[in-house]
């Protein structure tokens, strides 16, 4: 049984680990080993924990976090699915939840910066964007990404 709930401060370490697992399991081969190492180094910071507490949602399967994501200032952030649960529709379910939350906030458009490997998934969910750009991480490194956007229509 799956459920989605608002993340709490005490979930920050689990969200951090989910992020690391997803990056290592799904992004390798799309980025250099050096970029992967830089992207996944370090520990969960207080700033990250506070962001988890204020903005993130967790999708749990049998009480275990298997996907996460947030909408921050109109942008989808940190949508990660545990690689061992890929292909089960959990990313789609989390994205639909985030879109519904954005609509409730009165947003009419969402943007995101997709990893190279995730762009086909986002396109299948109605996001548009082809141009490769450079994401500047607040942690001081740059990754190729694909800026994308989707107009949010009212649910039918």
Question: Using one digit for the tens of pLDDT, what is the confidence trace for 99-129?
Answer: 999 999 999 999 999 999 999 999 999 999 9
In this prediction, residue 136 carries a pLDDT of 81
Q: Under a CB-based contact definition with an 8 Å cutoff, are residues 98 and 111 in contact?
A: no
Mean of the per-residue pLDDT values for the chain?
94
Contacts of 26 (CB under 8 A, 6+ apart): 81, 83, 86, 115, 117, 118
Domains detected in the chain:
2-151 (3.40.630.30)
**Dist CA 100 CA 94 (whole Å):** 10
β-partners of residue 128 are 149
Q: Residue 147 has what DSSP assignment?
A: E
Query: Do residues 52 and 101 lie in contact, with contact meaning Cβ atoms separated by under 8 Å?
Result: no
Residuewise pLDDT in 10s, the chain (156 residues): 889 999 999 999 999 999 999 999 999 899 999 889 989 999 999 999 999 999 999 999 999 999 999 999 999 999 999 999 988 999 999 999 999 999 999 999 999 999 999 999 999 999 999 999 998 877 778 899 999 999 998 665
Question: Token digits for 40?
Answer: 């996944």
pLDDT on residue 155: 61
């Amino acid at each position: 049984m799956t459920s989605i709930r608002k993340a709490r401060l005490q979930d920050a370490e689990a969200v951090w680990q989910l992020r690391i697992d997803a990056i290592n399991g799904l992004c390798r081969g799309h980025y250099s080993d050096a970029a992967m190492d830089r992207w996944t180094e370090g520990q969960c910071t207080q700033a990250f924990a506070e962001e988890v507490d204020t903005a993130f949602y967790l999708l749990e399967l049998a009480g275990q976090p298997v996907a996460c994501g947030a909408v921050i200032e109109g942008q989808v952030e940190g949508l990660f699915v545990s690689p061992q649960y890929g292909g089960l529709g959990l990313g789609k379910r989390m994205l639909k939840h985030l879109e519904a939350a954005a609509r409730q906030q009165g947003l009419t458009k969402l943007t995101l910066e997709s990893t190279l490997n995730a762009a086909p998934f986002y396109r299948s969910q109605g996001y548009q964007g082809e141009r490769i750009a450079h994401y500047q991480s607040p942690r001081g490194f740059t990754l190729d990404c694909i800026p994308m956007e989707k107009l949010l229509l009212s649910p039918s």
